[in-house]
Amino acid sequence: MFNIDIFHIYGIILSYYSERVKFMSEMEFIIDNIGNLPAVINTDEKQKNEFAINFMKFMQLTHLYDSAIKVVRTYLDILAEEFNVKFSRNPIHNIESRLKSAESIIGKLQKKNLPVTPEAASKNLLDIAGIRVTCYYISDIYYIVNILSRRDDFTIIKQKDYIRNPKPSGYRSYHLIINVPVYLSSKKYYAPVEIQIRTIAMDFWASLEHQLKYKTTAKLSPEISQELKECADRIAETDVQMQKIFLEINDLE
């Protein structure tokens, strides 16, 4: 195992290079020169090699998860286009995606007391690849969940309906973790992708609450948490009312 100092540097190097290194030759250059970094220079040959191997595995992992995001995003883009072509309305308002940074991956592994290795990351962290789909109405969410569930090459590993069962904070969204096939040159690999599906109203609350939580270093007081929960519940009522209006106008009730 490496010491903490090396991992810190490791995270920074990974975060920096996972964005930029696209060719094996560049990667080889970095690996060859890793031994010259101040944090690595005093370690023995075995540790340097282990570091280089883990670095390469992390790069491959990042590539796999990034590709899995692309597979799901492309599918959602195709669906959105289909809705525009065939129907009068597209239930998808917005799609965002993110790959968890190497520093967050390392931080989460350490928090869970797990070894900081690519193997532990792929085995234990299911939110390295993340996609957020924002819909207009609550019924749109279930419609999208249904479409994603019907794809026979997507396996649902986990699903949580935080709309029917909101979190104590008041958070609402539908969470799916799907195992997504990625065809690389040698064979088919799978990577889990966390998909959060929510309405614009749910996204409004979650974004502000997230910002408020992370703006203050101290934990939110019970009074503030209660107030935020009340906001979430009021927003949820409005969401239901907007859904009702939509159904009424479209004679769908």
- Which residues are near ligand GTP by CB under 6 A? 127, 160, 167, 169, 171, 175, 206, 209-210
Determine, following the binding rule CB under 5 A, whether residue 50 of this chain makes contact with Mg ion: no
Which of 127, 143, 189, 235: binder of Mg ion (CB under 5 A)?
127
Determine the 3-state secondary structure of 39 from DSSP: helix
- Contacted entry of Mg ion, ligand GTP, none for residue 137, CB cut-off 5 to 8 Å set by kind: none
Nearest to 98 by CA among 133, 134, 128, 67: 128
Q: Which is nearer to Mg ion, 111 or 187 (CB)?
A: 111
Residue 80 host element (H or E): helix 45-86
**Which residues, numbered 133-152, are part of the site for Mg ion (CB under 5 A)?**
none
Cβ proximity to ligand GTP: between 140 and 209 the closer is 209
How many whole angstroms from its chain centre is CA 188?
21
**Which region among 22-30, 123-131, 156-164, 238-246 touches Mg ion (by CB under 5 A)?**
123-131
- CB-count exposure of residue 48 (10 Å: 0-12, 13-18, 19+): middle
CB atoms within 10 A of CB 218: 5
Q: Using CA atoms, how far apart are residues 177 and 123, in angstroms rounded to an integer?
A: 14
Closest to ligand GTP by CB, 34 or 202: 202
Rg (CA), the chain: 22
Smallest gap from residue 219 Cβ to ligand GTP (A): 13
**Among ligand GTP, Mg ion, none, what binds residue 98 when CB lies within 5 to 8 Å by partner kind?**
none
Binding site for Mg ion (CB under 5 A): 127
